[in-house]
Amino acid sequence: MKQFYCFSFLLLSLLSATAHAVKLSGNISIQSRLFQHDALETNQHNHYNSFALEPEIYHAWDNRKQAVNFAAFYRYDQYDDERTHADIRELSWLKVFDNWELTVGVSKVFWGVTESQHLVDIINQTDQVENTDGEDKLGQPMIRFSTERDWGVLDLFVLPGFRERTFAGIEGRPRIIIDTDAATYESDDGDHHIDYAIRWLSYFDEIELGLSYFSGTSREPVLIPSIPGSFAPHYVIINQIGLDVQAIIEDWTWKLETISRKSDIENYIAATAGFEYTLYGIFETDADLGIVVEYLFDDRDELASSPFQNDITTALRWALNDTQSTEVLLGIITDLDESVVASFIEASRRIGSSFKLTLEARAFNNTVSNRPLHAFRQDDFLQVGFGWYF
């Protein structure tokens, strides 16, 4: 990773010489996380404060046929040494040819359409120390070829470096105790294994269809018991076929993500499917209300590393459509086998033109000892964030 930071310094030095053509943006934010219950361990805390910085620099030239993009991330956490971390989310060069685009460097790529989880989204590693919802991602070194034709968009990826998943430290919450120093790999190349991926995306009237294939080191580690109460991550080689479909029909949005994954350890199929129905202009206002229902399936049942193998997500998405872009998402995830319920609230509101207030709450109820969510049984929390965007 040191070479990326050296490269970023040289890039910033180059861009400073042509500052008139550089677009600078980003945000600075503070965050406070308050836990409702006392921690399971005495070295954990009930209240965490942190500070984050996310600058981004973009520069285009050659009639916008070439561009460089640099996006960094840094967080300082009051207690958790692992959550105090820095990452290069983007450090890439884009070149546009007649029929192709080439991207080289560190970048982020998102695949998926569902709300509950993104099964097909496999290019970037999860920055799990940021949040347990899997939405935050680390930058991934890549060479990407893209072309858009009448038959759809085709992306080809060569991924020459692997990033290990981040986990909360000994003082962090929520937390599963992971000994990241004991990480092992199936491949003799370790984190230098070269991965490959391909994705085709096309549109058929109201239907968006994506088909993907990935071959390489799994971003999701197998957790192997280590010292009592601790796990060591093991990264296996996988081959994964993914399908994501979204259909917008009047007020309905139908969604599906499904994967078939094979490795020397296990073969399985998983899927998330459901809909979002939107009520526009409710109560004769400008606000919209979306009703989200999704079913989560994993044929490994209780052997699944994911906590979702036979679950239902129900949620409400409220968008005021006001000048402050106020939005609220609240929902529950119910385990149909064991009645385990995880609930969540995510809300945001702009203040003026440059500030944003966010709120997040998560609760884990009725967890059972043989399921992954049991490690979070005392970790219900409320999180408030305030950021300045420039």
Closest CA to 70 of 128, 4, 131: 4
Closest CA to 141 of 72, 216, 186, 88: 88
Give the phi and the psi of residue 304 in degrees, each rounded to 5. Answer: -65, 140
User: 21: which 2 tokens?
Assistant: 């053509």
Give CA–CA dist 143/159, Å, rounded. Answer: 7
User: How would you class 205 by CB atoms within 10 Å of its CB: exposed for 0-12, middle for 13-18, buried for 19 or more?
Assistant: exposed
What DSSP string describes 164-213?
Answer: PPP---TT-SS---B-GGG-EESSTTGGGPPEEEEEEEEEETTEEEEEEE
Handedness of CA 218, 224, 227, 231 (dihedral sign): positive
- The per-residue pLDDT for 372 is 67
Give CA–CA dist 38/336, Å, rounded. Answer: 28
Give CA–CA dist 311/315, Å, rounded. Answer: 13
Q: Are 139 and 106 in contact (CB under 8 A)?
A: yes
Within 13 Å and on the Cβ side, how many CA atoms surround 191?
A: 15
The model carries a pTM of: 0.90
Which residue stretches of the chain have pLDDT < 70? 1-20, 370-372
By residue count, the chain amounts to 390
Residues whose CB is less than 8 angstroms from the CB of residue 178 and which lie 6 or more positions away in sequence, other chains included: 167, 223, 230, 231, 232, 233
Residue 373 Rama label (left phi>0; alpha psi -120 to 50; beta): alpha
Neighbouring-strand partners of residue 223? 233
What 3-state class would DSSP assign to 375? helix
- DSSP letter at 125 equals P
- The per-residue pLDDT for 7 is 46
Residues whose CB is less than 8 angstroms from the CB of residue 324 and which lie 6 or more positions away in sequence, other chains included: 349, 350, 351
User: 269: which 2 tokens?
Assistant: 């199929």
- The per-residue pLDDT for 301 is 87
- The per-residue pLDDT for 228 is 75
For 124-162, write each residue's pLDDT tens digit: 999 999 999 999 999 999 999 999 999 999 999 999 999
Ordered domains of the chain (ranges, CATH) = 25-389 (2.40.160.10)
- The per-residue pLDDT for 307 is 83
Closest CA to 36 of 365, 368, 316, 372: 365
Q: Are 223 and 247 in contact (CB under 8 A)?
A: no
User: 73: which 2 tokens?
Assistant: 């991330």
Give CA–CA dist 386/248, Å, rounded. Answer: 34
